[in-house]
């Protein structure tokens, strides 16, 4: 399927009509924040997995600082500490 310039323009116009010009910048900003969160979480997961693969023998008790999920650089209102579940059995 080959999309030319007239088809792309028509698609953009339909999107503007459906969502409204005022909501498009907010939607784009929200999509950008979501992409940044996903990217930072993927990096954090790789970072958490790397020490486990590098060292096969445990080196003693390890204390970890609480992780913080960051939504956007400089945006401290949406950052929050992560509480991870513990393995406590009753």
Percent of the chain residues past pLDDT 70, beyond the cut: 53
Cα dihedral 58, 63, 69, 70 sign: negative
Domain contains 27: yes
Domain tally, the chain: 1
Residues 6+ apart with CB under 8 A from 89: none
Distance CA 46, CA 53 (A): 11
State residue 72's pLDDT score: 63
> Which helix or strand (DSSP H or E) is residue 39 part of?
helix 23-54
List, for residues 44-78, the tens digit of each pLDDT value. 998 887 655 545 555 656 666 666 665 666 565 65
Domain contains 33: yes
Domain contains 73: no
Q: Which residue segment(s) compose the domain that 30 sits in?
A: 22-51
Mean pLDDT on 20-49: 88
Three-class DSSP category at 80 = strand
Domain contains 41: yes
Backbone angles phi, psi at 68, to 5 degrees: -125, 130
Domain contains 76: no
Domain contains 30: yes
Domain contains 2: no
Confidence class of residue 16 from pLDDT cuts 50, 70 and 90? confident
């Amino acid at each position: 399927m080959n999309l030319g310039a007239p088809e792309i323009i028509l698609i953009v116009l339909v999107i503007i009509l459906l969502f409204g010009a005022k909501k498009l910048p907010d939607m784009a900003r929200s999509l950008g924040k979501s992409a940044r969160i996903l990217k930072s979480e993927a990096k954090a997961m790789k970072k958490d997995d790397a020490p486990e693969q590098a060292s096969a023998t445990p080196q003693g008790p390890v204390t970890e600082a609480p992780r913080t999920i960051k939504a956007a650089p400089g945006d401290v209102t949406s950052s929050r500490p992560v509480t991870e579940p513990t393995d406590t059995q009753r």
